[in-house]
Amino acid sequence: MKALSACAISLFLLGISSSALATDNQLTEQEKQQGWQLLFDGQSLSHWRNYQQDSISPKWQIQDNAITLTDGGAGDIITRQQYGDFELTLDWKISEGGNSGIFFLADETGKYVFSHAPEIQIIDNERHPDSKLDSRRAGALYDMIAAPAASQKPAGEWNTVKISLHDNVLQVWQNDVMTVHIVMHSSTWEKLVAASKFANWTGFAAQTKGHIGLQDHGDKVAFKNIKIRELP
């Protein structure tokens, strides 16, 4: 009886696990009705390309149902479509000691994707030296607004980020903890920019519409459940 019960429990847990996996990279009926779109369906990288290129590096691969940077030197990737006001959700997982980021409002007039695009930081808070600065910890608006350390799960675990930009109001949540809430181009914003590495970067965050970007910082990183909806 005990063996049977253990078997039943195992099958039950397996069913839960399979069910959870089956929902990855899919939209619920409610999400479809709300206007959400997938930027990754678990099978194709068709929504993405390398920065200033029309193709995508083979070092960006689909592994374990996620967009995975397998090796450095692949280059940053961006969405083929541009977005103005939007809500974006995704899950990310960083390798030990790793660093990456999520860009928004990216254009292709600069040398790099980060030339003009703000970044939400992805990093191993425990091991990467850059995370010694609070404004460069995971979930932070990079080099501008610090994120609570408690909002990040350890390297090797999945983290969920939501970014909302509407009427210049930028809000970010990481694992259901708000990490950023600011009005872009307000006096507070301008003071933060002036105190950051972007102070003299012409055109930084000047765009009203741009690409979403995922960073190649040379470390293995994975992304899944990438969903976006445009806001009126």
- What domains does the chain contain, in order, with CATH numbers? 27-230 (2.60.120.560)
Here the tokens at position 67 are: 């967009």
- Angle at 85 (CA atoms; ends 160, 65), nearest 5 degrees: 35
**Cα–Cα distance for residue pair 68/52, rounded to 1 Å:** 20
Quote the DSSP letter at residue 83.
B
Structure confidence at residue 2 (pLDDT): 45
What pTM does this model have?
0.89
pLDDT tens sequence across 65-106: 999 999 999 999 999 999 999 999 999 999 999 999 999 999
- Say how many C-beta atoms besides its own lie within 10 A of residue 29's C-beta: 7
Res. 220 pLDDT band, cuts 50 70 90:
very high
Q: Are 211 and 107 in contact (CB under 8 A)?
A: yes
Structure confidence at residue 7 (pLDDT): 43
Work out the percent of the chain whose per-residue pLDDT is above 70.
91
Res. 219 pLDDT band, cuts 50 70 90:
very high
Structure confidence at residue 68 (pLDDT): 98
**Cα–Cα distance for residue pair 226/108, rounded to 1 Å:** 22
